[in-house]
Structure 1
Amino acid sequence: MIRKRIALVTSAATALAGGLVGVILTAGPAAAATVSQPLQTMVANLPVATEVRTGYDRDLFNHWIDADGDGCNTRYEVLIAEATTAPAVGSGCALSGGAWLSYYDGATWTDPSDLDIDHMVPLAESWDSGSRNWTSAQREAYANDLGDARALVAVTDNVNQSKSDQDPAEWVPSLAGVRCRYVTEWTAVKTRWGLTVDTAEKSALTTYAAACTNSTVTVEIVIGNGTTTSPTVSPSPTVTPTGGTCTGSNGTDVTVPDAGAAVTSSVTIAGCSRSAASATSTAYVNIVHPFRGDLSIWLYAPDGTYYVLTSASSADSAANVDTTYTANLSSETANGTWTLSVKDNYSGDSGYLNTWTLTV
């Protein structure tokens, strides 16, 4: 997807030309960040905010799309995936011979036209809860989210229509036995997309979750949830390892503001048995951000020398940094305070540094 963005900083090459010492490190493949928490904890961590409906229009969420170009749009992809009896797929993605169970009401259907594809968190509710601040590409991705089976669900059409855009304070499935599933899926989607909840919604989710088995819920994050994003700290609190280790880790969340100043997070390594850092030192970095290509990341050694972990690249539109960088830091002393610096180079979105670990 092509995004219109405005670059707001000079490149790493320009910085190097200014006389600072820099070494470009190599990176392994990046992957989306995940969160695993007990259900009741995940509910408790949903941030509360006032809902805002102003400006909502369903047409702002482009759906249903055929993302993989196989002739079946998102609606049909969900129907195929959720069928209890696999349908035959004909020309134009016409489905026949299948069967579907609508878990909201326990009804079974053999005609796809009897089913709606429900956005677990309705489009209007997502707008109220934060998607009004997204780009059109992000809203399209949300409306067609096939990356998490909980986001879209095939259900009886009139049941979906009765749900409309209501949250769990106003509507839950009529079958009491599936309400824990519903609350879990609602919470997972809100967490996945960094959406807020209002006071009544939070109260209802808390009450329902308290009556459910407190099972661990795992979610792959697309957009960082504001509840885990602390105010920008520069430098952030230092974590000092013990026991002579040559590894330091800092898990204090630091906001990476939209097109703002660089933020930093530090670790202090003390008592390392080596006086010099290793030639195969590694820096594991986890940053939640809608577009990792927006980010420039530097590692500063105790003497102030810096190493470029990655420079911003508008060609990289994937989400999140979950990457281990490797470099020869043998010219640096192992012990001392090491600092990670992160900057968002483009306007339109923000994120947060979740954790980073340095092994020297």
Structure 2
Amino acid sequence: MIRKHLALATAAAAALAGGLIAVVTTAGPAQAATISQPLRTMVANLPVATEVRTGYDRDLFNHWIDADGDGCNTRYEVLIAEATVTPSVGSGCALSGGRWLSYFDGATWTDPADLDIDHLVPLAESWDSGSRNWTAAQRQAYANDLGDARALAAVTDNVNQSKGDQDPAEWIPSLASVRCRYVTEWTAVKTRWALTVDTAEKNALVTYAAACTNSTVTVETMIGGGTTTSPTTSPTATATGGTCTGSNGTDVTIPDAGSAVTSTITISGCSRTTASATSAVYVNIVHPFRGDISVYLYAPDGTYYVLKAASSSDSAADVITTYTANLSSETANGAWRLSVRDNYSGDSGYLNTWSLTV
């Protein structure tokens, strides 16, 4: 069973394929970009934009999925993880003997049917705030986000229904003692997924946060700026000032069984003439089946290195890892390109972030 960290696995290094120039070995798994800020600062940094509901349909968010194939979908993974008394898990993931506390209203329950799994930032609210521009794979990842305990919560069903798709300007838990928790979690989820807030929502969050302890909130981000670009776009990030490291957080959609997409990091001013024998390439790709994905790194002179080959036998999700590459024969400074392709039909995804240390 999975909970709180969905498919953060290390991708296996590719074997040398015919005609390819180099093989890159895999280092240990790396984390996505993180943001740590005091609560009030994180609230202040939420971007304000007008909400747009046009085109919303709940069916555009595929949920609940059984990501690890153990017979328990996302709803049940949350129930198992949040139980105050651990339930027995029977056939078909039937739960018995468990006990749950709904933090919204302080009620306790022993029947899972009395609980809903709340998307803390509702699906419709996420649509209004930016997910309308995402791919289907991004919306599925959001709707089943087990990677952050704040994203989904088991709560009393009728309380969840009374909340509906309202933001904190319109709805807040009845228990005053949990409001700071709720505001913190709302802010964390919005930050994690680079979602905007409207003016009334921002004002409400600022007011509530002012009455809370200004504790540091740490978020592992999933969306690099919330911008999706077409496959023909090649976003560029530049590293300057003597550094030999660069990163690119502009989302690039990876079309289903389509052409390769590229993202570029330009290293400029690196103090070393040549790249390192232990260069590091961190890659964060969101995709339902990482086995569909192949990843290549192109050096400034056009030489390419296989970071990951596609494998039909690998049905796990996402590629979130750091690869170690011997790039000592390459010039450090110049434009380095990451090329990503979905080799099988059925699902699309996106390149979230990548970084390069040469």
**CA distance 1:139–1:85, shift in 2 (3 Å):** same
AA aligned opposite 2:81: A
2:43 maps to which residue? 43
- Within 2, Cα distance between the matches of 1:81 and 1:175? 23
- Within 2, Cα distance between the matches of 1:265 and 1:27? 20
Are 2:299 and 1:300 equivalent residues in the alignment?
yes
The answer on whether the counterparts of 1:62 and 1:143 sit within 8 Å (CA) in structure 2 is yes
1:250 maps to which residue? 246
**CA distance 1:205–1:251, shift in 2 (3 Å):** farther
- Within 2, Cα distance between the matches of 1:154 and 1:195? 22
Q: How does 1:88-237 map to 2 (within 5 A)?
A: 88-226=88-226, 236-237=237-238
2:8 maps to which residue? none
**CA offset at residue 312 of structure 1?**
7.7
**CA distance 1:286–1:258, shift in 2 (3 Å):** closer
Q: How does 1:320-331 map to 2 (within 5 A)?
A: 321-329=320-328, 331=329
Select which of 333, 336, 342 maps to 2:338: 342
- Within 1, Cα distance between the matches of 2:132 and 2:235? 30
- Within 2, Cα distance between the matches of 1:172 and 1:117? 17
1:284 maps to which residue? 281
Are 2:81 and 1:81 equivalent residues in the alignment?
yes
**CA distance 1:205–1:337, shift in 2 (3 Å):** same
**TM-score with structure 1 length normalisation?**
0.72
- Within 2, Cα distance between the matches of 1:261 and 1:140? 21
**CA distance 1:300–1:240, shift in 2 (3 Å):** farther
Structure 2: unaligned runs, 5 residues or longer: 1-16
1:7 maps to which residue? none
The answer on whether the counterparts of 2:247 and 2:265 sit within 8 Å (CA) in structure 1 is no
2:265 maps to which residue? 265
- Within 2, Cα distance between the matches of 1:289 and 1:62? 15
**CA offset at residue 101 of structure 1?**
1.4
Say which SS state the counterpart of residue 154 (structure 1) adopts: strand
Say which SS state the counterpart of residue 226 (structure 1) adopts: coil
The answer on whether the counterparts of 2:102 and 2:108 sit within 8 Å (CA) in structure 1 is yes
**CA distance 1:48–1:318, shift in 2 (3 Å):** farther
1:26 maps to which residue? 25
The answer on whether the counterparts of 1:100 and 1:108 sit within 8 Å (CA) in structure 2 is yes
The answer on whether the counterparts of 1:257 and 1:351 sit within 8 Å (CA) in structure 2 is yes
Q: How does 1:313-324 map to 2 (within 5 A)?
A: 313=310, 318-319=317-318, 321-324=320-323
**CA offset at residue 137 of structure 1?**
4.3
Structure of greater Rg = 1
The answer on whether the counterparts of 1:45 and 1:227 sit within 8 Å (CA) in structure 2 is no
- Within 1, Cα distance between the matches of 2:250 and 2:73? 38
The answer on whether the counterparts of 2:134 and 2:228 sit within 8 Å (CA) in structure 1 is no
**CA distance 1:354–1:43, shift in 2 (3 Å):** farther
AA aligned opposite 1:153: A
**CA distance 1:130–1:23, shift in 2 (3 Å):** same
**CA distance 1:52–1:40, shift in 2 (3 Å):** same
**CA offset at residue 179 of structure 1?**
1.5
- Within 1, Cα distance between the matches of 2:47 and 2:175? 28
1:244 maps to which residue? none
Aligned-pair identity (%) = 59
Number of aligned residues: 327
AA aligned opposite 1:109: W
The answer on whether the counterparts of 2:24 and 2:323 sit within 8 Å (CA) in structure 1 is no
**CA offset at residue 134 of structure 1?**
3.7
AA aligned opposite 2:241: T
**CA offset at residue 151 of structure 1?**
1.7
**CA offset at residue 257 of structure 1?**
6.8
The answer on whether the counterparts of 1:191 and 1:225 sit within 8 Å (CA) in structure 2 is no
AA aligned opposite 1:28: A
The answer on whether the counterparts of 2:118 and 2:154 sit within 8 Å (CA) in structure 1 is yes
